[in-house]
Amino acid sequence: MGKLKERWGIDSNWQLLVIFIVFAITGSTSAKLAGPLCEFIGISSEEHHWSIYWPIRILLIFPIYQVLLVAFGWIFGQFRFFWGFEKKMLERMGIFKLLKLIS
């Protein structure tokens, strides 16, 4: 845990616990919300083959997760950590480069 705290710049075990809780809540919530969102846009597991339904659902989870991560981070008082985490993740995925090319 010490290496993780050092890597993330975290001072206390309490802050580390809160961050783990935020990650858990965010993952569970985004996976749960993807189902109704699929239904809303007209994609259901009953009407579509699994090879269509699941990739679309997983693709929907990604943006939901990004928004919820920062939102839950703010609710739990860890906005600065999760905003930095979010920017670093999107940068590594090349999202910022893609946005610069588009604009």
Higher pLDDT, 26 or 51: 26
Q: What local confidence, expressed as pLDDT, does residue 73 receive?
A: 96
Mean pLDDT, the chain, rounded, equals 87
- pLDDT at position 82 over 60: yes
Is 36 or 73 the better-scoring residue by pLDDT?
Answer: 73
Res. 5 pLDDT band, cuts 50 70 90: confident
Q: What mean pLDDT do residues 22-33 have?
A: 95
- Report how far residue 102's alpha carbon sits from residue 99's, in angstroms, rounded to the nearest whole number: 5
Return the percentage of the chain with pLDDT > 90, whole number: 40
pLDDT at residue 102 greater than cutoff 80: no
pLDDT for residue 11: 86
Cα–Cα distance, 89 to 63 (Å, whole number): 12
Domain with 32, as residue range(s), is 2-102
How many domains does the structure of the chain reveal?
Answer: 1
Give the relative orientation of helices 79-92 and 50-75 as an angle to the nearest 10 degrees. 140
pTM value is 0.80
